[in-house]
């Protein structure tokens, strides 16, 4: 099978690309659409650096094919701020130093957004459990949990 035309709805806008059906959503974002905020840590579902929201639920974008996500609402780290105004989760990561090298941060933030929205941040332990698929090699976990818990209120 050769390349096909795909239309993806990303951060509220329709984006088109021409790609082989085997292209992952992560590669579609990064390599075809220049949305490089979502990171590739492992490319097989173990690190969470590629986390995006699909129809509001968090997804490892390296584990799903772009073609399967047509017709769905995809939100990436580039889409959560409102103009110059950062998303509250972004503000909280800044305030609590929820990152060091920053590589895992986009995925952590997207996971944190889903964590709060789905009500999984009612305690530090619950938050840690929910966020356990997002690895941070710098070990910023306590600050990440503090940031997510603050947004949860
Ligand atoms: Fe997708 Fe690691 S790059 S989980």
Residue finishing a domain among 52, 79, 106:
79
Distance CA 105, CA 144 (A): 9
Which of 31, 45, 104 gets mutated to test ligand 1 (max ligand atoms within 8 A of its CB)?
45
- What pLDDT was estimated at residue 1? 73
- What pLDDT was estimated at residue 54? 98
**Of all atoms in ligand 1, which is nearest to the CA of residue 60?**
1
| Those residues with Cβ within 8 angstroms of residue 19's Cβ, 6 or more apart along the chain or in another chain | 3, 4, 6, 27, 28, 32, 66
- What pLDDT was estimated at residue 47? 98
Which of 43, 66, 106 gets mutated to test ligand 1 (max ligand atoms within 8 A of its CB)?
43
Give 3 Cα–ligand 1 centroid separation in angstroms: 24
Nearest CA to ligand 1 atom 4: 45
Kindly report, residue by residue over 11-54, the tens digit of the pLDDT: 999 999 999 999 999 999 999 999 999 999 999 999 999 999 99
Distance CA 98, CA 108 (A): 9
How many CA atoms within 13 Å lie on the side-chain side of 97?
5
- Ligand 1 site residues (CB inside 6 A) read 40-43, 45-50, 60, 62
Name the domain count of the chain: 2
- What pLDDT was estimated at residue 142? 97
Give 60 Cα–ligand 1 centroid separation in angstroms: 6
- Whether 27 and 67 map to the same domain: the answer is yes
Give 63 Cα–ligand 1 centroid separation in angstroms: 8
- Whether 117 and 143 map to the same domain: the answer is yes
**Of all atoms in ligand 1, which is nearest to the CA of residue 62?**
1
Residue finishing a domain among 79, 105, 140:
79
Residue ranges making up the domain that contains 35: 4-79
Q: What is the DSSP letter of 29?
A: I
* Section 76-80 average pLDDT: 98
Kindly report, residue by residue over 79-129, the tens digit of the pLDDT: 999 999 999 999 999 999 999 999 999 999 999 999 999 999 999 999 999
- What pLDDT was estimated at residue 9? 98
**Residue 61 — very low, low, confident or very high, per pLDDT cuts 50/70/90?**
very high
Q: Which two tokens stand for residue 67?
A: 């073609």
Query: What is the CATH number for 106?
Result: 1.10.150.120
∠ CA 99-105-106 to the nearest 5 degrees? 160
């Amino acid at each position: 099978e050769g390349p096909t035309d795909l239309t993806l709805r990303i951060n509220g806008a329709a984006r088109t690309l021409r790609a082989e059906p085997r292209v992952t959503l992560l590669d579609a974002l990064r390599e075809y659409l220049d949305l490089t905020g979502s990171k590739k840590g492992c490319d097989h579902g173990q690190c969470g650096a590629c986390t995006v929201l699909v129809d509001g639920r968090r997804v490892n974008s390296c584990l799903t094919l772009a073609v399967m996500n047509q017709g769905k609402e995809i939100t990436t780290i580039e889409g959560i701020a409102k103009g110059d105004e950062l998303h509250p989760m972004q503000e909280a990561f800044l305030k609590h130093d929820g990152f060091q090298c920053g590589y895992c941060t986009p995925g952590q933030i997207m996971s944190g957004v889903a964590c709060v929205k789905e009500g999984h941040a009612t305690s530090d332990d619950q938050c840690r459990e929910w966020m356990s698929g997002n690895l941070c090699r710098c070990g910023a976990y306590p600050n990440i949990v503090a940031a997510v818990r603050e947004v949860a209120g």
